[in-house]
């Protein structure tokens, strides 16, 4: 990717997030996965439908008086337009899910982009890593204030392990285009998401980005061993 900007991070740059922020985001996604799964009506639900079910579940958690106290410090935004130079009106960029930490100065946002994964060429690993997927983070269209972001794969065919292998292979094959800095590494932020891994990408001289990859099964044919 040859369009990397060589700018130093400004005072709004947050870098990599704290372990607690990262863990809270993962808990919200994992716990509300069960809620979203209960809404699935077929093996081909649209990406926007699934994302809506996830954010609905998170909102219900915020409104539940029995939820952990830390939940009150977050809000979730779905398809929220971003004010970024060069993009105006209807052309503004809209990340799928933003989880904002409202009790911290600067109100940092954990930005997540989601893609359906099935046997259709329109929902394959190449789309996941491409210009409307991972590249949005790497070229700075999404999350330029942060050194960390998330990709979610909505698995609608085969198993989570199959898609993990496919995506990791696709990332490695396009490592130059994706400015991959080091080997992809398995991570286990929480036990409910055992098929997660991270990849690190060069974005500027002083502003690399870690992308955490989360796979969730949304099909009777897909393995549900992540819950």
Q: Which of 218, 213, 220 is nearest to 194 (CA)?
A: 213
Residue 225 lies in a domain: no
Look at 77-86, 121-130, 181-190, 211-220 and tell me which has the smallest mean pLDDT.
Answer: 77-86
Residue 2 lies in a domain: no
Give the pLDDT confidence score for residue 224 in this predicted structure.
47
Give the pLDDT confidence score for residue 205 in this predicted structure.
60
Per-residue model confidence as pLDDT tens digits over 114-137:
999 998 888 899 999 999 999 999
Per-residue model confidence as pLDDT tens digits over 22-75:
999 999 999 889 889 888 888 888 999 999 999 999 888 877 888 899 988 999
Residue 6 pLDDT class (50, 70, 90 cuts): very low
Q: Rounded to an integer, what is the distance from CA 150 to the centroid of its chain? A: 3
Residue 6 lies in a domain: no
> 109: which strand partners?
100
Residue-number span of the structural domain to which 170 is assigned: 19-217
Residue 16 pLDDT class (50, 70, 90 cuts): confident
Residue 3 lies in a domain: no
Task: Please indicate whether residue 181 or residue 123 has the higher confidence score (pLDDT).
Answer: 181
Whole-structure pTM value: 0.88
Give the pLDDT confidence score for residue 9 in this predicted structure.
45
Residue 89 lies in a domain: yes
- The total domain count for the chain is 1
Strands of the 109-117 sheet, one edge to the other = 74-78, 97-101, 109-117, 148-155, 209-217, 197-201, 185-186
Residue 12 lies in a domain: no
Residue 226 lies in a domain: no
What is the C-alpha separation between 15 and 10, in angstroms, rounded?
Answer: 11
Residue 5 lies in a domain: no
């Amino acid at each position: 990717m040859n369009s990397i900007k060589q700018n130093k991070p400004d005072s709004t740059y947050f870098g990599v997030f704290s372990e607690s922020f990262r863990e809270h985001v993962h808990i919200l996604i994992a716990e509300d996965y069960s809620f979203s799964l209960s809404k699935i009506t077929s093996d081909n639900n649209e990406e926007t439908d699934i994302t809506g079910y996830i954010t609905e579940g998170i909102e219900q958690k915020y409104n539940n008086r029995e939820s952990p106290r830390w939940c009150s410090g977050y809000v979730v935004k779905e398809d929220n337009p971003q004010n970024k130079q060069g993009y105006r009106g209807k052309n503004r960029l809209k990340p799928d899910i933003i989880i904002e930490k409202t009790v911290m100065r600067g109100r940092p946002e954990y930005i997540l982009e989601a893609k359906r994964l099935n046997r259709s060429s329109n929902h394959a690993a190449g789309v996941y890593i491409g210009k409307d997927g991972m590249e949005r983070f790497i070229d700075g269209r999404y999350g330029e204030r942060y050194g960390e972001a998330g990709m979610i794969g909505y698995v609608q065919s085969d198993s989570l392990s199959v898609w993990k292998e496919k995506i990791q292979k696709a990332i490695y094959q396009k490592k130059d285009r994706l400015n991959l800095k080091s080997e992809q590494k398995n991570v286990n932020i929480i036990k409910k998401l055992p098929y997660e891994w991270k990849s690190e990408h060069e974005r500027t001289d002083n502003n690399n980005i870690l992308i955490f990859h989360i796979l969730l099964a949304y099909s009777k044919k897909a393995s549900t061993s992540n819950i």
